[in-house]
């Protein structure tokens, strides 16, 4: 295609390319006022009073010119940016990181901040680069998040800015961290079963060491205690925290002499495996056995047969609470635990 063959394309490109970059100064000229005045009206600065007439004049100049303030110049002049950094370790594998981002963004925007997110896939190199990038953008602070609740070694660079840990916590525990309340979650899960009258309740736990593993067990035990049910170690199984693990544990569970009437699964994926085992035996929840999961991983929990009653991991809240903690600088240290809400569907 020869030059000028397609005028339409050319002009479209030009429209984008030579975009005149209208500045505040242009607006001032057009409105016949000073730059300061324009700045005052577009930010309607408290304290200064502008005549209705000039305000109108400025506003229409802004509109006519299609003026967009330059955020970078603004930030520079003000001496600080409106950025909050968010580093995530696994944005591509589960919706969890997305939920954290979503919560963080909503809360950040509410305060006039915009999120600078970086996915590191747990790669230390990428992590370092991401933090450096954020520091160079002079972020107000950084949220360091993980996709599952765990302890994390904090990169040194992180300490160059205010930061809060989200869904993880430091080795020494003297940083501010926002995490799910695993104990309360485990308690809530067991309690659902208890309230339906079940007394022989199994817990298919994870076999991996993690705060969720110990926390949910603790919650399960305290719920039993509250209902006067003796804790029976034979009823807590351990298995890999996925569908296969759930299926395997189910075989074991369904073979024990005195059958349980309810089971709390460490997560929804294990519950999915359990459902498979049940179905192979012609059994179904809650008719033959009541089951409660954990995580509220929608694609699973919302669509199992029957839909799974579960306890939700509060990722959205974790993100939102993270920026709140960052902005308010409260607490000054220590961890805040966010409640895991119950989601009743039809399996219990």
Q: In this structure, are residues 280 and 247 in contact, taking their beta carbons and an 8 Å threshold?
A: no
Give the footprint of a second copy on residues 256-315 (CB under 8 A).
269, 272-273, 276, 279-280, 297-300, 303-305
Please, which residues have CB within 8 angstroms of residue 133's CB and are 6 or more apart in sequence? 116, 118
Our CB check for a second copy shows the closer of 42 and 229 to be 42
Q: Figure out which of the listed residues 6, 11, 13, 32 binds DNA, where binding follows CB under 7 A.
A: 32
Q: 21-29 contacts: CB < 8 A, separation 24 or more?
A: 22/65, 22/66, 22/67, 22/68, 23/67, 23/70, 24/67, 24/69, 26/65, 26/67, 27/58, 27/61, 27/62, 27/65, 27/67
- Binding flags for a second copy, 215-244, as an x/- string (CB under 8 A): ---------------------------xxx
Options 25, 36, 48, 132; binder of a second copy; rule CB under 8 A: 132
Which of 22, 150, 151, 162 touches a second copy (CB under 8 A)?
A: 162
The verdict on whether omega for the bond into residue 25 sits within 30 degrees of 0, i.e. cis, is no
- Our finding on whether 326 is near DNA (CB under 7 A) is no
What is the nearest approach in angstroms of DNA to the Cβ of residue 18? 13
Nearer to DNA, 50 or 90 (CB): 50
Q: Could you say whether residue 42 binds DNA (CB under 7 A)?
A: yes
**What is the smallest separation between the CB atom of 37 and DNA, expressed in angstroms?**
4
Q: Is 129 in the site for a second copy (CB under 8 A)?
A: yes
Size of the chain in residues: 348
Strand partners, 312: 295
Query: Within the chain, where are the H helices?
Result: 7-17, 24-31, 35-42, 52-65, 71-78, 96-110, 124-136, 182-195, 211-226, 243-255, 268-280, 298-301, 315-328
| Alpha carbon distance 313, 135 (integer Å) | 30
> Contact positions toward a second copy, by CB under 8 A?
9, 13, 16, 19, 66, 68-73, 75-76, 81, 91-95, 97-99, 101-102, 105, 109, 114-119, 121, 129, 132-133, 135-138, 160-162, 242-244, 247, 269, 272-273, 276, 279-280, 297-300, 303-305, 316, 332-333
Q: Which residues of this protein are in contact with DNA, per CB under 7 A? A: 21, 23-25, 32-37, 39-40, 42-43, 45, 48-51, 53-54, 67-70, 73-74, 76-79
């Amino acid at each position: 295609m020869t030059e000028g063959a397609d005028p339409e394309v050319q002009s479209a490109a030009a429209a984008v390319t030579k975009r005149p970059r209208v500045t505040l100064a242009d607006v001032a000229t057009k409105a016949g006022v000073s730059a300061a005045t324009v700045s005052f009206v577009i930010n309607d600065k408290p304290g200064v009073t502008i005549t209705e007439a000039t305000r109108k004049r400025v506003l229409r100049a802004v509109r006519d010119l299609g003026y967009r303030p330059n955020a970078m110049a603004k930030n520079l002049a003000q001496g600080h940016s409106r950025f909050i950094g968010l580093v995530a370790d696994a944005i591509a594998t589960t919706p969890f990181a997305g939920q954290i981002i979503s919560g963080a963004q909503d809360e950040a925007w509410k305060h006039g901040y915009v999120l600078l997110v970086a996915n590191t896939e747990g790669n230390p190199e990428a992590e370092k680069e991401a933090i450096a990038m954020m520091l160079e953008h002079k972020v107000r602070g950084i949220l360091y998040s993980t996709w599952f609740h765990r302890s994390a070694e904090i990169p040194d660079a992180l300490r160059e800015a205010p930061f809060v840990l989200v869904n993880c916590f430091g080795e020494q525990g003297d940083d501010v961290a926002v995490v799910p309340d695993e104990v309360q979650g485990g308690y809530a899960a067991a309690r659902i079963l208890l309230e339906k009258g079940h007394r022989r309740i199994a817990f298919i736990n994870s076999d991996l060491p993690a705060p969720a593993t110990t926390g949910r067990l603790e919650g399960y035990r305290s719920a039993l205690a509250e209902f006067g049910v003796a804790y029976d170690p034979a009823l807590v199984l351990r298995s890999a925290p996925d569908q296969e693990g759930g299926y395997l544990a189910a075989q074991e569970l369904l073979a024990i002499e005195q059958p349980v009437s309810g089971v709390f699964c460490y997560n929804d994926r294990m519950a999915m495996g359990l459902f498979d085992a049940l179905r192979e035996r012609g059994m179904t929840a809650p008719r033959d056995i009541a089951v409660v999961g954990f995580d509220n991983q929608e694609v699973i929990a919302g669509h199992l047969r029957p839909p799974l009653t579960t306890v939700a991991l509060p990722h959205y809240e974790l993100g939102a609470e993270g920026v709140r903690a960052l902005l308010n600088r409260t607490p000054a240290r220590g961890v805040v635990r966010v409640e895991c809400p119950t989601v009743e569907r039809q399996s219990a």
